[in-house]
């Protein structure tokens, strides 16, 4: 098995706020990230796929197919968006980067079969760098 990881960048804004918490609880849990006007991040997204090498090409995945999939399924939906109000996959949820990473996996799975009809490679994980110190990784269960 070989793992291929590709990196992509996008910018988006959010306010960490849960409707299930009081204003005081939101402030205590999310701190400065609960600022009423929100804030933005320049995210770095890493998408990792695994699979056997194709004997004809020597590749685990066609990079162009993966790039197209990430662009159409993820980046177009997240780039320069307000994650609180413009991303249906996060509707009603506090748009934490943990929840965003899980949503990215769901977004990729929506178009996976069309991009990779042979079933290879397999989506392994996504890593989402929110800041230089905060990195979140979501793994595929199958």
- 9-67 tens-digit pLDDT: 999 999 999 999 999 999 999 999 999 999 999 999 999 999 999 999 999 999 999 99
Is residue 132, in this structure, part of any structural domain at all?
Answer: yes
| Strand 2-14 relative to strand 81-82, pairing | parallel
- 63-118 tens-digit pLDDT: 999 999 999 999 999 999 999 999 999 999 999 999 999 999 999 999 999 999 88
Domain that holds residue 130: 2-11+40-139
This model's pTM is above 0.85: yes
pLDDT band of 2, cuts 50, 70, 90: very high
Catalytic (active site) residue 33: yes
pLDDT at 119: 78
Is residue 97, in this structure, part of any structural domain at all?
Answer: yes
Is residue 99, in this structure, part of any structural domain at all?
Answer: yes
CATH of the domain at 129: 3.30.479.10
Q: Which candidate in 33, 86, 98, 140 is catalytic?
A: 33
Is residue 34, in this structure, part of any structural domain at all?
Answer: no
Is residue 90, in this structure, part of any structural domain at all?
Answer: yes
Is residue 32, in this structure, part of any structural domain at all?
Answer: no
Distance, CA of 54 to CA of 51 (rounded, Å):
9
pLDDT at 120: 87
Q: Which candidate in 35, 80, 110, 137 is catalytic?
A: 80
The number of folded domains in the chain is 1
């Amino acid at each position: 098995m070989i793992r291929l990881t590709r990196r992509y960048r996008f910018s988006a804004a959010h306010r960490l706020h849960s409707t299930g918490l009081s204003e005081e609880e939101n402030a205590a849990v999310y701190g400065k990230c609960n600022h009423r006007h929100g804030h933005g991040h320049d995210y770095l997204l890493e998408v990792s796929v695994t699979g056997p090498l194709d004997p004809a090409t020597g590749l685990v995945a066609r990079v162009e197919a993966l790039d197209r999939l990430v662009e159409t399924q993820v980046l177009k939906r997240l780039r320069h968006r307000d994650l609180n109000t413009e991303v249906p996959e996060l509707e009603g949820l506090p748009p934490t980067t943990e929840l965003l990473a899980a949503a990215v996996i769901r977004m990729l799975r929506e178009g996976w079969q069309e991009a990779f009809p042979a079933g290879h490679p397999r989506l392994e994980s996504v890593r989402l760098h929110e800041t230089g110190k905060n990195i979140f990784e979501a793994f595929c269960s199958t």
